[in-house]
Amino acid sequence: MLPNASLILITCRFKNYTFIERQGTTIGVDFTMKTMNVDGQRVKLQIWDTGGQERFRTITQSYYRSANGIILCYDITCRQSFESLDRWIEDVTKFAAPNVAKVLIATKADLEDGRVVSQEEGEALAKREGMCFFMETSSKINLNVDHAFYELAYELKKQYDESSHLDFQAEAFRLSQGTTSISRWSSCC
């Protein structure tokens, strides 16, 4: 379980441009979609928030298989959420495609006074695990939320543009009428 990691708040801020102070945690799986512009091309993100609760771990594993990108996140004010990442990284390695784009997001960057996980620790973990990037975010003050999703969408589009033989499912990218659709994008928090 990744307590207080707040990915649901990040997706709410990204999708609806709102922050809800007392949002509950994701139970099971939550789904949202958003279209954004990446290098002049529309990219449709299908975001599956699989939560980070241990009791839903087997459900989460099935989403990894078809994900093109995975966000792993932790709360900078909760050491346990950071330490639990090793378990989730192990699952991603075991169940996701080898070319899946992985990113590490630290949440609650506005709570610097309560920080128990340093930025350097997050950067080191992302580097050690070969993640595309690491970023600290805050849903409350809207710090790096859109930027994090844009960077992952950019990375996925770049992978697709560079190689047409990547192991993406046929429906994962549709290049019709100027739209790129990136489907089954899982996240774990």
Q: How confident is the model over 120-143, as pLDDT tens digits? A: 999 999 999 999 999 999 988 888
Q: How confident is the model over 19-41, as pLDDT tens digits? A: 676 555 544 566 777 888 898 88
Q: How far apart are CA 84 and CA 75, in angstroms?
A: 11
Domains and CATH numbers, the chain: 7-19+28-188 (3.40.50.300)
Q: How confident is the model over 65-87, as pLDDT tens digits? A: 888 888 898 999 999 999 999 98
Structure tokens at 57: 């771990």
Confidence band of 88 (pLDDT split at 50, 70, 90): confident
